[in-house]
Amino acid sequence: MTKEIESTLEKAQDAFTALGKFSISQRVALMRTVADEIESLGPELISTAQEESHLPEGRLVGEKGRTIFQWRSYADALEKGSSLDASIDTANTERTPPKPDIRKTNVGLGPVTVFGASNFPFAFSTAGGDTAGAIAAGCTVIVKAHPGHPKTSKMMADAISRGVEKSGFPEGTFSHIVCETYEEAQILVSHPFIKAVGFTGSYQGGMALVEVANKRPDPIPVYAEMGSINPVFLLPEKLSTSASELAKQYAASLTLGVGQFCTNPGLVISVESEDLNLFTDTLQEEILKVVPAPMLNAGIAKGYAGNLDKMISQNGVEVLAVATAEASEGQGSATVASVSGLDFLLNDALQNEVFGPFALIVKCKDAEEALAVTAKIHGQLTATLLATSVDLAENEALVSLIGTKCGRIIFNNFPTGVEVCKSMHHGGPFPSASNNQYTSVGADSIKRFVRPLSFQNWPDEFLPEELKNSNPLNIWRTVNNELTKEAIS
């Protein structure tokens, strides 16, 4: 282990011990100060990220705003007590046997390592949701810098460190580290000080870290958000009313950001019909018009080309359209292909993620085959139904099966936007995520980095503030099974 990694781990551990003395309101203030520091980063942040990620300015400006909102909204959630989940069951000495006083809150797990993604240099990287969530939880954080945007990562890290210093928190509350090898990066998972890992990226990367974590004498959670092809189900009545319009909207969602979203809708499932033909004809026209654009980096562009080649060489796959304008090096060409329901059922490779602007349309011979295809689909972050109410009512079995396959089920809308709010679930059954119980977006993502701690018969003055009789934080608590802000007399 290098000296730098060793001292970073020690600082993170020491800071975690010291964090016990900081109040919830100090932690809230820290998060708001970090948000202000990120906000004050000027145009240089955007131009640096643009240069490193090839993402357009408008997209990056929006992503910066989203990142600031994540810090502020998670701070609000902490202030309101929602991530603490405080509950109190008061004593009953009359009962036989007597019931003790039991109170429960959520405490930080310990130092957390965050592996950011290449495709969101702000919102899912160094200062992204995993880091904000872990800090809100009361953890210290070590970020392993993504090599796709090293300067951006450093600028964000410096902003967080300034926030830490200004708020009077110990230096090791947040650290940023550049790893030269996978071995080095994996020490940040296997080391006994580390108590959880947040990851967004490839299936291979996520699973490598899960394996390292599971081999520890004390296995720890790895919250890995990995690949997803986000199926879109076209149901007959909806298709009969607006096939062309749907195809245009779908093409826009598929090719947004050169398809480099974990929620990119890369799979369409429908039953063969004239309306489906109209949908695919319009989709082909739209795809032909898409102007190829630079992908995040040379590796991602190479990965797209290679995975696309593998996909279109599978049995029964027919290419329907490729963007007319030729792609230069580093760019990705939008492509659409189709396959029969039967071929899809016979070949698991057709479910591999082709990260970029690619869609596979599965044409099923009838509703029964569509149900079989759906049953075969792996776990997904999202599934989308383009349907009418009649379609929903007439396809009950399909609709409930789809619900078992995804973390977010969408009706007549598209999955690429991921709203940051408490009700968002950004995660899903394996392999879209390594743990399908938690979201990586929205204030509930804080809960990945806490563990419950119960206090039994504890003197009020020594209880954490969120469990004290007087409810000094004025938060909602479950007291004897009722949600209330009332103090306990």
Amino acid in the structure at residue 453: L
In three-state secondary structure terms, 264 is coil
Instruction: Report d(CA 262, CA 426) in Å as an integer.
Output: 10
**Token pair recorded at residue 29:** 């203030």
The single residue among 81, 110, 111, 227 that binds ligand NAP, judged by CB under 6 A, is: 227
Q: Which residue has tokens 């109190």?
A: 88
For ligand NAP, give the closer residue by CB, 37 or 225: 225
How do strand 231-234 and strand 174-177 relate by DSSP bridges?
unpaired
The distance of closest approach from Cβ of residue 348 to ligand NAP in the complex, given in angstroms and rounded to an integer, is 17
Q: Which residue has tokens 């408008």?
A: 58
Candidates 223-231, 319-327, 364-372, 464-472; binding stretch for ligand NAP (CB under 6 A): 223-231
**Rule CB under 6 A: which of 272-301 touch ligand NAP?**
300
For ligand NAP, give the closer residue by CB, 300 or 479: 300
The distance of closest approach from Cβ of residue 91 to ligand NAP in the complex, given in angstroms and rounded to an integer, is 48
The distance of closest approach from Cβ of residue 230 to ligand NAP in the complex, given in angstroms and rounded to an integer, is 10
In 313-458, which ranges are continuous DSSP H helix? 341-346, 367-376, 389-394, 396-403
132 CB-near residues (< 8 Å, 6+ apart): 31, 34, 70, 71, 74
Binding flags for ligand NAP, 178-207, as an x/- string (CB under 6 A)? ----x--xx-------------xxx--x--
Size of the site for ligand NAP (CB under 6 A): 25
The single residue among 117, 268, 308, 450 that binds ligand NAP, judged by CB under 6 A, is: 117
The one catalytic residue in 37, 79, 225, 466 is: 225
The one catalytic residue in 139, 262, 364, 406 is: 262
The single residue among 45, 159, 208, 322 that binds ligand NAP, judged by CB under 6 A, is: 208
Q: 67: part of which helix (H) or strand (E)?
A: helix 57-80
The single residue among 54, 144, 363, 408 that binds ligand NAP, judged by CB under 6 A, is: 144
DSSP letters along 274-339, please? HHHHHHHHHHHHHHHHPPPEE-SSHHHHHHHHHHHHHHHTSTT-EEEEE-SSPP-TTEE--EEEEE
The distance of closest approach from Cβ of residue 310 to ligand NAP in the complex, given in angstroms and rounded to an integer, is 13
Binding flags for ligand NAP, 354-383, as an x/- string (CB under 6 A)? -x----------------------------
The distance of closest approach from Cβ of residue 55 to ligand NAP in the complex, given in angstroms and rounded to an integer, is 13
For ligand NAP, give the closer residue by CB, 203 or 455: 203
The single residue among 32, 36, 147, 320 that binds ligand NAP, judged by CB under 6 A, is: 147
Quick check: is 225 catalytic?
Answer: yes
Quick check: is 419 catalytic?
Answer: no
Instruction: Report d(CA 426, CA 406) in Å as an integer.
Output: 10
The single residue among 83, 119, 282, 338 that binds ligand NAP, judged by CB under 6 A, is: 119
Is residue 226 part of the contact set for ligand NAP (CB under 6 A)? yes
The distance of closest approach from Cβ of residue 5 to ligand NAP in the complex, given in angstroms and rounded to an integer, is 13
The distance of closest approach from Cβ of residue 353 to ligand NAP in the complex, given in angstroms and rounded to an integer, is 5
The distance of closest approach from Cβ of residue 138 to ligand NAP in the complex, given in angstroms and rounded to an integer, is 25
Strand-pair partners of 339: 362
Among candidates 134, 156, 130, 144, which has minimal Cα distance to 60? 156
- Classify residue 400 as left (phi > 0), alpha (psi -120 to 50) or beta: alpha
For ligand NAP, give the closer residue by CB, 169 or 355: 355
The answer to whether the CB of 339 falls within 8 A of the CB of 316 is yes
Q: Please return the burial class of 188, using the count of CB atoms within 10 Å of its CB with bins 0-12, 13-18 and 19+.
A: buried
Q: Is the peptide bond before 97 cis (omega within 30 degrees of 0)?
A: yes
Residue numbers of the site for ligand NAP (CB under 6 A)?
115, 117-119, 144, 146-148, 182, 185-186, 200-202, 205, 208, 225-228, 262, 300, 303, 353, 355
> Could you list the active site residues?
225, 262
